[in-house]
Chains A and B, each alone.
Chain A
């Protein structure tokens, strides 16, 4: 309802119909943030999911020594608060004392040194790596559980047929993890659309708005520029995007379920 009004948060509210939405459509900052969010989303559906899957393939169904220990360690970043993660990565990226530039220096690769969070073209990828460092843990444990749950018969049959690892992955593992895969994609995608904490603490959308994302734009409008109705309109658009994704993913999941049955 707020999105149909014009309100500074204190004074009288005024009904303005869809005006906030038409303003949104012509707001350069909105399209910029949306672009950043969609790029983020694209990265988020690939990097943490693939990394989690590879780690799961390493750990699942193996009798290797220390399997539980490794799973515990790999998952650990997921329990840290986002502010802690921001401080960790803020320091890794520190231009003078940060681990990244110091290591590059020690390896004689000074020319690769960058201002990771201060460069307009590097800031989004740098933030995204920090975000992925947290989120692969979730995808990994889901994949481990799914792969561990596959009946041993299939692997025995593959062994008898002399199938190699790649074949086993493609024809046994992948078909069985399709349903959990859609769940993982959906949850990661929703988290990606809502990305706020890391960006807020590390760059606050900077430099020069190169890392501005939709949730940050919304919070700034509501509480810094006192444009509450406008912020509500942004929230509605964000919710709509998330809803469309949810329906799409749930539909895909239904398709996979039917195939499996």
Chain B
């Protein structure tokens, strides 16, 4: 009993290290500039909500939000569909060159995106895609596929064969089998993959830094970094901008935290 109480107390103290910076940011975002310099640590005396619409307008967060959504949705859908198809093929069929192809995909897992961005920029330039959202969508799908295929292949490989045989006897062809039996049964793995890719592409910073130079194509992290550069002296406004950008992902995380953590562990322990 005593030990448990001690543990809870210790864990509570440590969680302050996470909670305090976030609360402090929100509290600063509700102050006036004068109050920040007078009392940087305390809670705001009057809550100045007007910092939020101001940050939203001058920071053009509307555009950045829209761009982020326009990038993340096709990325997540593309990764889910393509990895499901490829993983299904790798798990269920034998075909020529299967092992070579699979090793090629795995090699993609070992080559980090930091190494690829420079040549990638010139490829996108040649394709005339620099400064478009496609320059963010296509490479993000490409770098996310190896992980998705690996995760789904091992999941599909572990599904009971008897169900699929039953489906085949009932006259399903390969695609019907995938759509009616394999995909619904893979829902937990698909959900993990969805959450992962959502988080990765929502927070992706290196790709937009390199591939986007116009304001109209900036995503949320890139837009926020420019906002930070411009308003670094106006702390309340900056903190309002930061809050606007982290609130959505935190809400999604809190709702789906079980899946987040399950997905991370499933991916790493495989």
Name the A residues within 8 Å of B41 (CB-CB): 99, 102-103, 106
How far is the CB of B211 from the nearest CB of chain A, in Å? 11
Contact A239 B115 (CB under 8 A): yes
Does B90 interact with chain A (Cβ within 8 Å)? Answer: no
Query: Which residues of chain B have C-beta atoms less than 8 A from A215's C-beta?
Result: 114
Residue B205 interfacial (CB < 8 Å): yes
Interface residues on B, range: 35 or more
Query: In the assembled complex, which residues on chain B have CB atoms less than 8 Å from the CB atom of A74?
Result: 14-15, 18
Q: Which residue of B lies closest to A195 (CB)?
A: B114
**For chains A and B in complex, what number of residue pairs have CB atoms within 8 angstroms?**
176
| Interface presence of A24 (CB below 8 A) | no
Q: Is B268 within 8 A of A65, CB to CB?
A: no
Query: Are A87 and B253 in contact, with the CB atoms below 8 A?
Result: no
Chain A minimum-CB-distance residue to B10: A58
Judge whether A81 and B221 touch: CB under 8 Å: yes
| Residues on B with beta carbons closer than 8 Å to the beta carbon of A82 | 203, 205, 221
How many A residues touch the partner, as a band? 35 or more
Question: Is B253's CB under 8 angstroms from A228's CB?
Answer: no
Nearest to B204 among chain A residues (CB) is A81
Residues of B within 8 A of A86 (CB): 225, 228
B199, B205, B224: residue with the most chain A Cβ atoms closer than 10 Å: B205
Indicate if the CB atoms of B18 and A73 lie closer than 8 Å: yes
| One of A28-36, A153-161, A218-226 at the interface | A218-226
A102/B269 contact (C-beta < 8 A), A80-B246, A228-B122 known: no
For B245, the closest partner residue in chain A by CB is A84
Return A254 CB to nearest CB of chain B, in Å.
15
Contact, CB under 8 Å: A238 / B115: yes
Least distance between A79 CB and chain B CB atoms (Å): 4
Considering only residues 42-88 of chain A, those with a C-beta below 8 Å from chain B are 55, 58-59, 62-66, 68, 70-77, 79-84, 86-88
Among the 9-residue stretches A14-22, A107-115, A118-126, A196-204, the one with 4 or more Cβ atoms under 8 Å from chain B is A196-204
Determine whether the beta carbon of A77 is less than 8 Å from that of B18.
Answer: yes
Task: Give the nearest-CB partner of B206 in chain A.
Answer: A196
Give the CA-CA distance A148 to B235 in the complex, in Å: 43
Contact A79 B14, CB 8 Å, known A62-B7, A180-B269: no
Would you give the 0/1 interface string for A125-161, flagging 1 where the beta carbon is closer than 8 Å to chain B?
Answer: 0000000010000100110011000000000000000
A218 — which chain B residues lie within 8 A by C-beta?
114, 118
Residues on B with beta carbons closer than 8 Å to the beta carbon of A187: 268
Closest Cβ–Cβ distance, residue A185 to chain B (whole Å): 11
- Interface residues as binary, B233-270 with A (CB distance below 8 Å gives 1, 0 otherwise): 00100110010011001100110010011001100110
Closest 3 CB pairs of A and B: A81-B203, A194-B114, A145-B265
Extra pairs beyond A146-B269, A242-B112 (20, CB < 8 Å): A62-B7, A64-B8, A65-B4, A70-B12, A73-B19, A76-B22, A80-B250, A81-B245, A86-B225, A87-B239, A88-B21, A88-B25, A90-B228, A103-B41, A142-B268, A197-B205, A218-B114, A223-B121, A228-B122, A235-B115
Q: Please, could you name 26 A-B residue pairs with CB atoms under 8 Å apart, sorted by A?
A: A2-B118, A2-B122, A64-B7, A64-B11, A65-B8, A66-B11, A70-B12, A73-B15, A75-B257, A76-B22, A80-B203, A81-B202, A81-B203, A84-B221, A87-B228, A87-B242, A90-B228, A91-B25, A91-B235, A138-B264, A146-B269, A183-B269, A196-B205, A215-B114, A219-B209, A238-B115
Give the B-binding residues of A (Cβ under 8 A).
2, 9, 55, 58-59, 62-66, 68, 70-77, 79-84, 86-92, 96-99, 102-103, 106, 133, 138, 141-142, 145-146, 180, 183-184, 187, 190, 193-194, 196-197, 200-201, 215, 218-219, 222-223, 228, 231-232, 235-236, 238-239, 242-243, 246
